Amino acid sequence: MMNEHEKVSILLVDDQPGKLLSYEVILKELGENLLMARSAREALDHLLKTDVAVVLMDVSMPEIDGFELADMIRQHPRFQRTAIIFISAVHLTDIDQLKAYQRGAVDYISVPIVPELLRAKVSIFADLHRKTRQMEQLNAELRKLSARLIATQDEERRRIARDLHDSVGQVIVALSMNNGIALTEVSNVNSVAADALRENEQLIQQLSTDIRTISHLLHPPLLDEIGLLPAIKMFADGFAERSKVNVSVELSPDIGRLSPHMEISAFRIVQECLTNVYRHSESKTAFINLSVDEGKVLVVEVRDEGRGMSPGSIVPKTRDNTGSGVGVSGMRERVRELGGTLAIESNGSGTSVIARFPISAAAVIRV
Amino acid sequence: MPIRLLIVDDSELVRKGLRNILRAKPDWEVCGEASDGLDAIAMFKSLSPDVTIMDFQMPGVNGLDAAAKILQIDPMAKIVLFTQHASPALEKHALDVGIRIVVSKTDTSKMVGQIAALLVPKSPEP
């Protein structure tokens, strides 16, 4: 991880060793890593081998055309934004300066070089580069952390749902069975006991429903045992009933079992989208479509006909935390982690969310 | 001749409850109990029960997969899927596997009746 004091590399290009030496002398006190190149070829070699923060070169060198070298550097996708400082002995007219900038030159300095000025210009770009690298590394770490967080959350919910089923759930079943048996004798007990038994039946059903609801919100039943399609169908049915939104579901039958990671991610995206439809869209209908594109890409689409999301207010986090994740950014993270893409289109006549996941040949198992 | 039932559930509590409920039918007899899908298949092979009551969600091989295996061994096997997660989606999938009856675990009052219906032999065409 690049910290604040790590050295960056500065590439000095000139075909005259004397000039190179003078740049070196001026820039040495910056304490960065100085690389020397005496030809265009050496310069490109260095660039390919090392992460260069800024390139310093003269516009008019006897054997190297500075502008041409800059062009070559800029054409390489990796170096399109590498900072280049041109040194110009000739008094550049405005047109020449423009030419320099068109080639992606970032700055230029005129001769005779004022050492403090050169050091100042170089160190600005060196610092910029350092900060950029730092930010990239931090971003990568952040992404890894958030992926781990999502996975942990999924796993924990799955475990709790399973525990609910295996412990609490089975006790409720036993309770229900026993009460059923007791109820067969209800005519043989006094009326107070009879009422209690009947009320028990209601309470047990209520308990059972409540536990089932909690469990379903935590982890989709059927997903692990059977797969994505029945899990989504079941969720959509339950959602339609709870929300009174008309849900139409199209699930392509050639979607077999996928990796558990992909299955839970696809499910969570559908869950999150439907939650948004209910909470924000005011749409009376929703469409869920799952299909496979050329056997290689799982396409998950959820559409509604509501009032759309305004860019600024995309899914405010809810207080009661009954959402399945952290909204749109959670969805993006899930998709990105699996190497997929997420496309959201939203306007006054509805919203469409399309997630595409690449499926590796090993992951698709025809049932 | 008593009707012989094989009951499969990973919970001892539930199996006990089931035994109690099935006592209501004196001519029914629980001939075996299994606590996971693999055992269920093995016991089916050795006991050839008239009806199998199969829990859906079990560790290892789940009830649907075990039932599918049993139906491969005996396509006429009578299996009732027993679950905390009864839903139309599950019923449809069970039907695809060959299981016509799915019973919710908290609706066991219906189960005896549904099993009895399963046992009625189809009347021959006149």
State pLDDT tens for residues B105-118: 988 778 888 888 88
Per-residue pLDDT band at A342 (split at 50, 70, 90): very high
Per-residue pLDDT band at A321 (split at 50, 70, 90): very low
Q: What domains sit in chain B, N to C, each tagged with a CATH number?
A: 3-119 (3.40.50.2300)
- A166 and B90 within 8 Å at the Cβ level: the answer is no
**Residue B96 and residue B64 in contact, taking contact as beta carbons nearer than 8 Å:** no
- For B29-36, what is the mean pLDDT? 95
B12 to chain A nearest CA, in Å?
Answer: 9
Q: Which helix (H) or strand (E) holds B52?
A: strand B51-55
Could you give the CA distance from residue B16 to residue B11 in angstroms, rounded to a whole number? 9
- Residue A53 has phi, psi (to 5 degrees) of -85, -40
Sheet holding A350-358, edge to edge: A246-251, A285-293, A297-304, A350-358, A341-347
- For A6-19, what is the mean pLDDT? 92
| Residue A43 Cα to chain centre, angstroms | 36
- Angstrom distances, CA of residue B89 to CA of A191, A197, A229, A254: 41, 32, 9, 17
Nearest CA to A52 among A128, A137, A140? Answer: A128
What would the two tokens of residue A240 be?
Answer: 């339609």
| pLDDT exceeds 70 at position A273 | yes
A229 to chain B nearest CA, in Å?
Answer: 9
What would the two tokens of residue B99 be?
Answer: 């299981």
To the nearest 10 degrees (0 to 180), the angle between helices B88-97 and B63-73 is 30
- For A2-9, what is the mean pLDDT? 78
Range with lowest mean pLDDT among A93-107, A232-246, B60-74: A93-107
Could you give the CA distance from residue B62 to residue B53 in angstroms, rounded to a whole number? 13
The pLDDT score that the predictor gives to residue A54 is 94
The pLDDT score that the predictor gives to residue A97 is 67
**How many residues are there in chain B?**
126
B32 to chain A nearest CA, in Å?
Answer: 19
Minimum-distance CB partner of A177 among B21, B62, B90: B21
Query: What are A199-226's pLDDT values in tens digits?
Result: 999 999 999 999 998 999 899 989 999 9
Other beta carbons within 10 angstroms of residue A174's beta carbon come to 20
Nearest CA to A20 among A48, A42, A52? Answer: A42
The pLDDT score that the predictor gives to residue A323 is 47
By C-alpha distance, the chain A residue nearest B107 is: A176
Q: What percent of chain A has pLDDT over 90?
A: 60
| pLDDT exceeds 70 at position B33 | yes
Exposed e or buried b per residue across A156-173, where buried means at least 16 C-beta atoms within 10 angstroms of its C-beta: ebbeebbebbbeebbebb
**How many residues are there in chain A?**
367
**Residue A225 and residue B57 in contact, taking contact as beta carbons nearer than 8 Å:** yes
In a 13 Å sphere around the CA of B1, the CA atoms on its Cβ side amount to 4
Sheet holding B101-104, edge to edge: B28-34, B3-8, B51-55, B78-83, B101-104
Type of residue found at A105: A
Q: Does A203 touch chain B (CB under 8 A)?
A: no
Exposed e or buried b per residue across A91-102, where buried means at least 16 C-beta atoms within 10 angstroms of its C-beta: ebeeebeeebee
CATH number (3.40.50.2020, 3.40.190.10, 3.40.50.510, 3.30.565.10) of A220-367 reads 3.30.565.10
| pLDDT exceeds 70 at position A92 | no
Type of residue found at A232: I
| pLDDT exceeds 60 at position A314 | no
**Residue B63 and residue B82 in contact, taking contact as beta carbons nearer than 8 Å:** yes
To the nearest 10 degrees (0 to 180), the angle between helices A191-218 and A170-183 is 160
**Residue A288 and residue A238 in contact, taking contact as beta carbons nearer than 8 Å:** no
The pLDDT score that the predictor gives to residue A104 is 63
What would the two tokens of residue A247 be?
Answer: 């849900």
Could you give the CA distance from residue B126 to residue B105 in angstroms, rounded to a whole number? 38
In chain A, which residues have their Cβ closer than 8 Å to the Cβ of B109?
180
- Angstrom distances, CA of residue A83 to CA of A52, A281, A300, A305, B53: 9, 47, 42, 48, 73
Cβ-Cβ contacts under 8 Å for A323 (sequence gap 6 or more): A272, A275, A317
- A181 and B20 within 8 Å at the Cβ level: the answer is yes
The pLDDT score that the predictor gives to residue B24 is 83
- For A121-146, what is the mean pLDDT? 92
Could you give the CA distance from residue A308 to residue A348 in angstroms, rounded to a whole number? 5
| pLDDT exceeds 60 at position B123 | no
Query: What are A51-76's pLDDT values in tens digits?
Result: 999 999 987 777 778 878 888 888 88
Other beta carbons within 10 angstroms of residue B101's beta carbon come to 20
The pLDDT score that the predictor gives to residue A322 is 47
The rounded mean pLDDT for chain B is: 90
With an 8 Å Cβ cutoff, the interface of chain B facing chain A consists of 10-11, 13-14, 16-18, 20-21, 24, 56-57, 62, 64-65, 84-85, 87-90, 92-93, 105-106, 108-109
- B87 and A237 within 8 Å at the Cβ level: the answer is yes
- Residue A349 has phi, psi (to 5 degrees) of -105, 10
The pLDDT score that the predictor gives to residue A2 is 58
What would the two tokens of residue A342 be?
Answer: 């997420």
The rounded mean pLDDT for chain A is: 87
**Residue A12 and residue A24 in contact, taking contact as beta carbons nearer than 8 Å:** yes
Class of domain A9-113 (CATH, top level):
alpha beta
What single DSSP character describes residue B67?
Answer: H
- For A147-157, what is the mean pLDDT? 93
Q: Is the dihedral of CA A248, A254, A259, A262 positive or negative?
A: negative
Per-residue pLDDT band at B126 (split at 50, 70, 90): low
The pLDDT score that the predictor gives to residue A366 is 45
ipTM above 0.95, yes or no: no
**Residue A248 and residue A263 in contact, taking contact as beta carbons nearer than 8 Å:** no
Q: Provide the residue ranges of all domains of chain A, joining segments of one domain with +.
A: 9-113, 144-219, 220-367
Nearest CA to A336 among A143, A151, A133? Answer: A143
| pLDDT exceeds 90 at position A192 | yes
In this prediction the pTM is: 0.79
